[in-house]
Amino acid sequence: MQKITRRTMLAASAAFTVAPALALAQSSKNMTLVVPFPPGGSTDALARLLQSHLQTRLGRTVLVENKSGAAGSLGAAQVAKSPPDGSSFLVTFDSHAVIPAILEKPQVDVEQDLVPVFLVGTAPYVIAANASRPFKTFADIIAASKAKPGSVQYASVGIGTLGHLAMTLLAKKAGVEITHVPYRGGGPAMNDVLGGHVDLIAGSAALVTAQLGPNLRPILQLGRERLPVLKDTQTAIEAGFPDFETLAWWGIFAPKGTPPDVIASMAKSVREILSEPAVASQLRETQQMTLVLADAKDFGTFFAKQVSIWGQVVRENNIKA
């Protein structure tokens, strides 16, 4: 029988520590990062950023597959039905938390069929106006809406998205009616606002700040603190809506039943990739993202809160996809 010494105990401990890091690399199967939205959006950009780095780190082929439709539930359902062996992960966006409330018969139970792996980061939503409109503050929008209910229109990237839900909640708190004009994505929504066809847009900071200029004016940001690029724009809290916050977020999920060491391995790999200064800087600059880098447990707590908050808004306002 081998004698147990302090050296053998330390060796065993070290082996246990590195095991999660090897869990993904030891698989001979390709890894697929499923994005439940069309190519070109922020989630797709994040997945493709991770793809190249994961492929190099793990020494295995990593693919990105765009599976859009049904408010992101088609891609989520595909991952949920995949083998729980580290070969398939969902890289998704904040609207994932709204699926249970917005769809009558979703193809996936996002709280039971998938498990949180990693919360990448967050960014505030921003409300902006076509620069030809007279609105300089959200108080101006409220005044115009009270004078002529429904006359002010805003674009969002779709029914049940957080931009839509945040504006619904703000209008309700302000006691006004603001007309929603939903689009299939940020590009079409922004084009119509820039073209003067719609007054306002409620979108992620990345979508809005990229277009600020002669044709687009920032009105209100929905984070707790002002972004450096929007240092002269009020937050909703400063505008008189206590504790009001709406954050875009990006996260990674795996099929239910995925072994803990595989989840830990993926989280470790993603954390190390996103902690590289060049990568972190890229996400901050292109997405106005605050990197959170939270592992499965903390992400699970955050996600459950998001499901509760926005599910309540959907139900109370009878919003349907």
What band does 15 get if pLDDT is binned at 50, 70 and 90?
very low
Answer whether residue 222 shows pLDDT above 60.
yes
Model pLDDT, residue 185 = 80
Instruction: Read off the pLDDT of residues 160-203 as tens digits, 9 standing for 90 and up.
Output: 999 999 999 999 999 999 999 999 888 899 999 999 999 999 99
Can you tell me the distance from the alpha carbon of 81 to that of 55, in angstroms, rounded to the nearest whole number?
23
Confidence check: pLDDT of 4 > 60: no
Helices (H), the chain: 6-25, 42-58, 73-80, 99-102, 138-147, 162-174, 186-194, 205-209, 260-274, 277-287, 296-316
6-122+249-316, which class in CATH? alpha beta
Share of the chain above pLDDT 90, in %: 84
For range 146-157, the mean pLDDT: 97
Backbone phi, psi, residue 188, to 5°: -60, -40
pLDDT 10s digits, 85-120: 999 999 999 999 999 999 999 999 999 999 999 999
One fold for 6-122+249-316 and 124-230: yes
pLDDT digits (tens, 9 = 90+) for 227-276: 999 999 999 999 999 999 999 999 999 999 999 999 999 999 999 999 99
Whole-prediction pTM value? 0.87
Q: Which residues pair with 66 in a beta bridge?
A: 35
Beta bridge partners of 253: 90, 116
| Every domain of the chain and the residues it spans | 6-122+249-316, 124-230
- Whose structure tokens read 């029988």? 1
**CATH number for the domain running over 124-230:** 3.40.190.10
Please give the Cα distance from 200 to 218 (Å, whole number). 10
